[in-house]
């Protein structure tokens, strides 16, 4: 049985195709071709087909491949009634439509808090408090090392009270 199919030619990465009539038992790359009836360049979409030869082989019973059927239709070659023309449905069925991002319920974007205006004075106060805590910790360490535990305990209590005041101020500003 004869088939009309496309035979790849051209260099690597730049294919062009011959439209050939061939025995269906041979592969297109075998080179055993009954007749060359045209060519097709997919890059420029140029198609050249000898209509008379194509109609002759179709009348004799050569079965065209689906891609060749489309090329022959584009070149206005009359196809016999027995040639099965596949439908050209471009719409494909989506496998799991429930998983599509557009069908997912929209999650609310996290609310962005309004930026808090910070003045240079606030930064200075915070830095001063942090520095005081660091200095107090160092003094406590030195006093403990010198075995003056009573003085170290008094200083750490004072620092803790100041730290509690700062935490209370921060809580009030967050609530407001």
What pLDDT does residue 167 have? 54
Same-domain status, 136 and 80: no
Q: Which of 46, 67, 87 is the last residue of a domain?
A: 87
**Overall average pLDDT of the 58-68 stretch:** 91
Quote the domain boundaries for residue 148: 120-175
Q: What is the pLDDT of residue 18?
A: 93
Please tell me the predicted confidence (pLDDT) of residue 78: 86
Within this chain, do residues 81 and 137 fall inside the same structural domain, yes or no?
no
Residues 17, 61, single domain; the answer is: yes
Q: Write down the pLDDT at residue 48.
A: 94
What are the tens digits of pLDDT across the range 99-113? Answer: 888 877 776 655 655
The residue that leads in pLDDT, 129 or 54, is 54
Whether 33 is in a domain gets the answer: yes
Mean pLDDT of the 6-25 span? 92
CATH number, position 37: 3.30.1320.10
Distant-in-sequence, close-in-space partners of 48: CB < 8 Å, separation ≥ 6: 38, 39, 40
Whether residue 128 is predicted with pLDDT greater than 60 in this model: the reply is: yes
Is 70 exceeded by the pLDDT of residue 151?
no
Does residue 49 share a domain with residue 8? yes
Are residues 82 and 6 part of one domain?
yes
Whether residues 80 and 135 fall in one domain: no
Of the residues 87, 106, 132, the one at which a domain ends: 87
Q: How much is the pTM?
A: 0.50
Give yes or no: residues 15 and 80 share one domain: yes
Same domain, 72 and 133: no
- Does residue 104 sit within a domain? no
User: Is 24 exposed, middle or buried, given 0-12, 13-18 or 19+ CB atoms closer than 10 A?
Assistant: exposed
Q: Is residue 128 part of a domain?
A: yes
Per-residue HEC secondary structure of the chain comes to CEEEEEEEEEECCEEEEEEEEEECCCCHHHCCCCEEEEEEECCCCEEEECHHHHHHHHHCCCEECHHHHHHHHHCCCCCCCCCCCCCCCCCCCCCCHHHCHHHCCCCCCCCCCCCCCCCHHHHHHHHHHHHHHHHHHHHHHHHHHCCCHHHHHHHHHHHHHHHHHHHHHHHHHHHC
Asked if residue 140 has pLDDT above 80, the reply is no
- Nearest of 162, 119, 176, 53 to residue 18 by alpha carbon: 53
Most confident of 8-17, 106-115, 128-137, 161-170: 8-17
pLDDT attached to residue 47: 93
Asked, for residue 166, whether it belongs to a domain, the answer is yes
Same domain? For 82 and 135 the reply is no
Domain match, 76 and 124 both: no
Task: Provide the mean pLDDT of the chain.
Answer: 77
**Which has more confidence, 152 or 1?**
1
Q: Counting beta carbons within 10 angstroms of the beta carbon of residue 110, is it exposed (0 to 12), middle (13 to 18) or buried (19 or more)?
A: exposed
85 or 58: whose pLDDT is higher? 58
Domains: count for the chain = 2
């Amino acid at each position: 049985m004869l088939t009309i199919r496309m035979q790849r030619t051209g260099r690597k990465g730049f294919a062009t195709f011959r439209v050939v009539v061939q025995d269906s038992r041979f592969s297109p790359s075998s080179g055993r071709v009954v007749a060359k009836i045209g060519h097709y360049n997919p890059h420029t979409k140029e198609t050249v087909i000898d209509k008379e030869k194509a109609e002759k082989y179709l009348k004799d019973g050569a079965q065209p491949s689906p891609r060749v059927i489309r090329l022959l239709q584009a070149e206005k070659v009359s196809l016999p009634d027995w040639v099965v023309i596949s439908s050209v449905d471009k719409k494909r069925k989506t496998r799991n439509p429930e998983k599509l991002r557009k069908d997912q319920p929209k999650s609310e974007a996290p609310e962005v808090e309004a930026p808090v205006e910070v003045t240079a004075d606030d930064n200075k106060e915070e830095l001063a408090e942090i520095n005081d805590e660091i200095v107090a910790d160092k003094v406590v360490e030195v006093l403990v090392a010198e075995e003056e535990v009573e003085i170290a305990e008094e200083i750490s209590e004072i620092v803790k009270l100041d730290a509690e005041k700062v935490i209370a101020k921060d809580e009030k500003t967050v609530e407001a």
